[in-house]
Amino acid sequence: MPAPAFHYDAELRRYQPWLREAIAVGPDDTVLDIGCGVGTTTCEAARLAIRGSALGIDVSAARLEAARRLAADVANVRFEQADAQVHDFPPAEFTLAFSRFGTMFFADPVAAFTHLGRALRPGARLVQLVWQSGNQQEWLSEISRAVGNPAVPDDSPFSLGEPAVVSEVLATAGFTDLRFTDVAEPLWYGPDAGTAVDAVRPLRLVSDALAQLGDVETERALDRLREVMATHQSADGVWLGSRAWLVTACRGAG
């Protein structure tokens, strides 16, 4: 059997049980998946909401195309290409909203979560996985070190990394009962070091660094990256540490 290739669901597979348990989709839930990507989590929610439904929204047309293919045999799921910050949701539609690493990119988080809150019924739950700060991410420091790029070119993935900031954002947006669970799980980059290097090459962290190098230096940087990935190789593939917050909240009554 060929070795499994790298893909995002596989990368995050240690996180999925945490999210699944926290969202605890019920049979009657009307679910919103914010920044749903290729729709794996949306389809999983829809299958559990047997008398309800699930809507996945994302700004990426390409990801939604993949999501619709994945959902071909799921009757109660649909997808919309939309910006979650401003999309015209029906008011008080959803009993549950969740996101797996899709809510950290909002330009104005208070406005965005206030807007999303209006789409939730009073008492509805909001569950999010968000990355902790960049200095908590082994994958980031190891890859940066290998390619010689100490600066994070885009820090938006870590914008919800501080619980104090997130608490203020969500409370101002009308959410209550905030809870933060510290989840430290490794990310999977593929079955071997070569696949792991290919998996991280599209990251801006890597591509920006390599773009500044000549051919010889690029080969050296890739060799270093391969060595780093080999260092983290175990029997079931290449794993690098990461850390996230599982944030749960309730839409307030107001």
Ligand X SMILES: C[S@@+](CC[C@H](N)C(=O)[O-])C[C@H]1O[C@@H](n2cnc3c(N)ncnc32)[C@H](O)[C@@H]1O
Place of tokens 């989709």: 25
Phi, psi angles (nearest 5°) of residue 40:
-60, -50
Beta carbons of 196 and 190 less than 8 angstroms apart: yes
Sole binder of ligand X in the list 57, 169, 206, 225 (CB under 6 A): 57
Beta carbons of 97 and 128 less than 8 angstroms apart: no
Q: Is 161 in the site for ligand X (CB under 6 A)?
A: no
From 67-75, 78-86, 166-174, 195-203, span contacting ligand X (CB under 6 A)? 78-86
Which long-range contacts (C-beta less than 8 Å, at least 24 apart) are formed by 140-145? 140/205, 142/228, 142/232, 142/240, 143/200, 143/203, 143/205, 143/206, 143/225, 143/228, 143/240, 144/205, 145/228
Sign of CA dihedral 33, 36, 38, 40: negative
Sole binder of ligand X in the list 6, 25, 94, 100 (CB under 6 A): 100
Cβ neighbours of 191 (radius 10 Å): 18
Sole binder of ligand X in the list 18, 20, 50, 60 (CB under 6 A): 60
Sole binder of ligand X in the list 23, 25, 84, 166 (CB under 6 A): 84
Least distance from ligand X to the Cβ atom of residue 133, Å? 17
Q: Name the burial class of residue 42, with classes exposed (0-12), middle (13-18) and buried (19+) by CB atoms within 10 angstroms of its CB.
A: buried
From 29-37, 68-76, 159-167, 235-243, span contacting ligand X (CB under 6 A)? 29-37
Beta carbons of 247 and 131 less than 8 angstroms apart: no
Q: Is 128 in the site for ligand X (CB under 6 A)?
A: no
Least distance from ligand X to the Cβ atom of residue 251, Å? 19
From 66-74, 80-88, 178-186, 233-241, span contacting ligand X (CB under 6 A)? 80-88
Q: Is 186 in the site for ligand X (CB under 6 A)?
A: no
The whole-angstrom separation of Cα 98 and Cα 26 is 13
Sole binder of ligand X in the list 79, 89, 94, 105 (CB under 6 A): 105
Closer residue to ligand X (CB): 41 or 242: 41
Q: Is 52 in the site for ligand X (CB under 6 A)?
A: no
Q: Is 101 in the site for ligand X (CB under 6 A)?
A: yes
Tell me which residues touch ligand X (CB under 6 A): 8, 35-38, 40-41, 57-60, 63, 83-85, 100-102, 105-106
